[in-house]
Structure 1
Amino acid sequence: MKIYADENIERSIIEGLRRRGIEVISAIELGYAGKPDAFHIEKASEIKAVILTHDTDFLRLASNQATQHHGVIFAHPESISIGQCIRGVELIASILTAKDMENHIEFL
């Protein structure tokens, strides 16, 4: 499973996931900081990646029946630590396939 980390995801989470062998594409590293959420969903879909986000706006967009996406993993920044986020994403990536995540939202 490929992960597209939106601009709100801390660098420490991205690096922690990469150290665990998870492919992570960072919106910031791609120069996409400040782009609208719909842009990020489109870019993640183009590369067939699951979006990792702290942004509740993605939940609204992803739950819209008209929006097709490769999945969203939502980690609320006030209720989950960096380590819990890394372990949660790692668990999801080890259990669910990219196909399982299509048009699906997972909450950490």
Structure 2
Amino acid sequence: MSEKTKFHLDESVDPDIAVALIKYGIDVTTAKTENLLGQSDEVQFAFCCQQQRVLITQDSDFLIIASQDFQHPGIVYYQPGTRSIGEIIRGVILIYEALSPDEMYGSVEYI
């Protein structure tokens, strides 16, 4: 069986998204579960790199960080207020099912 992508939700992402993804069987951490609430974007990004987790965020600052550092496990980005929780969940599940960690590495997927 091939390796599956793991995810991390920063604190800007609705926690109900994590609940749904976990129920689907996806390995997900959150800023809250990892005691990262209130930490800087750089700390969140470093956690994702260390743990090899794709970051799910609506914070465009991470797009700037990713453009300066291509050595990261990947980012899933959605613009605030443009997607329902269900659309975000379906988008992440699609990425989970379609892309391996190697395929996500250094990339940004927009949903």
Tell me the equivalent position of 2:100: 97
After TM superposition, which residue ranges in structure 1, 4 or more long, deviate above 3 angstroms? none
The CA RMSD measured in Å over matched residues stands at 0.9
Tell me the equivalent position of 2:75: 72
Separation in 2 of the partners of 1:19 and 1:93? 14
1:6 to 1, 4, 10: 10
Does residue 1:63 correspond to 2:72, yes or no? no
Taking structure 1 as the reference length, the TM-score comes to 0.95
Deviation string, structure 1 residues 11-69 (Cα, Å, up to 9, x no partner): 111101111111101111111111111111110111110000010000111111x3521
Equivalent pairs: percent with the same residue?
A: 33
Paired residues in the alignment total 107
Deviation, 1:77, is 2.4
Taking structure 2 as the reference length, the TM-score comes to 0.92
Segments of 5+ residues of structure 2 without an aligned counterpart are none
Deviation string, structure 1 residues 46-102 (Cα, Å, up to 9, x no partner): 1110000010000111111x3521000002221100000000000001000000111
